[in-house]
């Protein structure tokens, strides 16, 4: 069953009408389907067991979403101390967390090591050396995987490709053997394995194959020298359907893993983000006005680029569905769907065929559960929007809309300015 579908002409999450949620919490608002997240998780489990599933929480870090996934058995892939603490707060044990990222600070590495994290994915020689120093200083052993850059083009958007030699991520595969050897000799480090992640929203298995071959080759080289390699972190990147893409076939991926790396006998980790939560979320918005100009029909909605930025920074496509199903035979006409933010780039869709829409109508931006709320900002003085989780026939607000007072609470006017008075 699709996570969001029309029931009696009204778009719903399971049995819950999205219009009822909009009426209760206002718009804009993110809505996630717990059932859809769970189904997506089960699909991974079925296809890839016994691999460890470390949810790439950068896709959606809401505490309730994390808690849901933790309850299903997921670990987490984190990229900052903030994410790490959030994962812990959601009940994910440190022994189920891997720490990725190209610019971990010493404080972040120390916090992770002190807690007994499963693995840190090191991405450079300086990072390997810092990890050794910190671990030795605090009397811990750091379990480390070396993230390699396999110089493989993932064939996805340029902005979310990470495995080409010109990308900032990982250690060049050509230099990885030497760095692994060096690391194996450093105090405080236990070199556990190799990690790789070549990009996001992959639709094709072939780049994975090329990357995994490089990983397998490296494992064989290092083992021939006596290195002990027991874990491979294969990253994320599993593509979904936004427009007309074919989602990455998970069964095909699993077969590929069996062919290319399973024979090495390592424990396997995967880090799916988007695939677990993307299709499970929508962003609800209300039409503020429809403005016809000599050149365009603008549908102006109350959500903006600060709420969902993917269309603006990646040119990403999100389906836009009216909450009330258009009548049969409705006339679709091109429209530019734009937000209220004072930038021309605040445009969700250009010349998109849409049925008639009027002020007050509600729409949903689809596949917005991943890289939606987490990438939001308060630009133009717009508070972060609430998040709602639907389970079966109920819904709960899992992040409240901050009040304007709360939005101001961290800011201070220094004495010397306060003294000058604001009322004169």
How many contiguous H segments (helices) and E segments (strands) does the chain have? 13, 21
Among 110, 192, 271, 307, binds ligand LLP (CB under 6 A): 271
274 near ligand LLP, rule: CB under 6 A: yes
Beta carbon of residue 276, minimum distance to ligand LLP (angstroms, whole number):
8
Beta carbon of residue 312, minimum distance to ligand LLP (angstroms, whole number):
11
272 near ligand LLP, rule: CB under 6 A: yes
47 near ligand LLP, rule: CB under 6 A: no
Beta carbon of residue 305, minimum distance to ligand LLP (angstroms, whole number):
13
Written as six digits, the tokens of 7 are 């029931």
Cβ atoms of 346 and 304 within 8 Å: the answer is: yes
Among 60, 119, 149, 200, binds ligand LLP (CB under 6 A): 200
What DSSP line would sit under 216-261, residue for residue?
Answer: HHHHHHHHHTT----EEE----B---SSSPPPP-HHHHHHHHHHHT
For the question of residue 342 being annotated catalytic, the response is: yes
C-alpha dist (Å) from residue 97 to 112, 149, 194: 9, 21, 16
253 near ligand LLP, rule: CB under 6 A: no
Q: Which is nearer to ligand LLP, 56 or 90 (CB)?
A: 56
How many of the chain's residues bind ligand LLP (CB under 6 A)? 21
Q: Which is nearer to ligand LLP, 72 or 186 (CB)?
A: 72
304 near ligand LLP, rule: CB under 6 A: no
32 near ligand LLP, rule: CB under 6 A: no
d(CA 206, CA 256): 9
Q: Which of the residues 210 through 249 are near ligand LLP (CB under 6 A)?
A: 235-238
Q: Percent helix, strand and coil across the chain, each rounded to 5?
A: 35, 25, 40
279 near ligand LLP, rule: CB under 6 A: no
Helix (H, G, I), strand (E, B) or coil at 10: strand
Of the listed 54, 266, 342, 366, which one is catalytic?
342
Cβ atoms of 78 and 98 within 8 Å: the answer is: yes
Within 8 A by CB and 6+ apart from 380, the residues are 304, 306, 340, 341, 342
In the stretch 146-165, what mask flags binding to ligand LLP with x, by CB under 6 A? --------------x-----
Element spanning 7, H or E: strand 4-7
Q: How far apart are the first and last CA of the chain?
A: 62
388 closest CA partner among 23, 2, 8: 23
Q: Which of the residues 64 through 83 are near ligand LLP (CB under 6 A)?
A: 77
Chain contacts with ligand LLP (rule: CB under 6 A): 56, 58-59, 77, 100, 160, 197, 200-201, 235-238, 271-275, 310, 314, 371
What residues are annotated to the active site? 342
């Amino acid at each position: 069953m699709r996570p969001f579908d029309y029931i009696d002409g009204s778009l719903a999450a399971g049995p819950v009408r999205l219009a009822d949620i909009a009426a209760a919490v206002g718009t804009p608002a993110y809505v996630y389907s717990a059932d859809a997240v769970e189904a997506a998780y089960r699909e991974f489990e079925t296809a890839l067991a016994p691999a460890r599933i470390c949810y790439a929480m950068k896709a959606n870090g809401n505490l309730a979403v994390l808690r849901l996934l933790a309850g299903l058995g997921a670990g987490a892939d984190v990229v900052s101390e903030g994410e790490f603490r959030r994962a812990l707060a959601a009940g994910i044990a440190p022994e189920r967390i891997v720490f990725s990222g190209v610019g971990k600070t010493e404080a972040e590495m120390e916090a992770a090591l002190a807690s007994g994290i499963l693995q840190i994915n090191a991405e450079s020689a300086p990072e390997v050396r810092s990890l050794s120093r910190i671990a030795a200083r605090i009397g811990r052993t750091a379990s480390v995987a070396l993230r390699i850059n396999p110089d493989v083009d993932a064939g996805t958007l340029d902005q979310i490709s990470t495995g080409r030699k010109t990308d900032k991520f990982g250690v060049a595969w050509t230099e990885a053997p030497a760095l692994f050897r060096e690391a194996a000799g450093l105090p405080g480090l236990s070199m556990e394995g190799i990690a790789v992640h070549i990009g996001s929203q992959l639709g094709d298995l072939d780049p994975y194959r090329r990357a995994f071959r490089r990983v397998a080759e490296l494992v064989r080289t290092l083992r021939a020298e006596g290195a002990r390699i027991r874990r491979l972190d294969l990253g994320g990147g599993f593509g979904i359907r936004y427009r007309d893409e074919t989602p990455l076939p998970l069964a095909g991926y699993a077969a590929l893993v069996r062919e290319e790396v399973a024979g090495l006998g390592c424990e396997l980790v995967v880090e799916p983000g988007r695939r677990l939560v993307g299709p499970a979320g929508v962003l609800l918005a209300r039409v503020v006005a429809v403005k016809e100009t000599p050149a365009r029909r603008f549908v102006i909605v109350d959500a903006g680029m600060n709420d969902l930025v993917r269309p603006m920074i990646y040119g990403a496509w999100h389906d836009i569905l009216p909450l009330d199903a258009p009548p049969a035979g409705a006339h679709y006409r091109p429209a530019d769907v734009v937000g209220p933010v004072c930038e021309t780039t605040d445009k969700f869709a250009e010349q998109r065929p849409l049925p008639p829409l009027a002020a007050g109508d509600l729409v949903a931006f689809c596949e917005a559960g991943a890289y939606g709320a987490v990438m939001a900002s308060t630009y133009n003085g717009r508070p972060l929007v609430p998040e709602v989780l639907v389970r079966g026939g109920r819904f709960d607000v899992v992040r409240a809309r901050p009040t304007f007072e709360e939005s101001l609470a961290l800011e201070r006017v220094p004495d010397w300015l306060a003294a000058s008075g604001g009322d004169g």
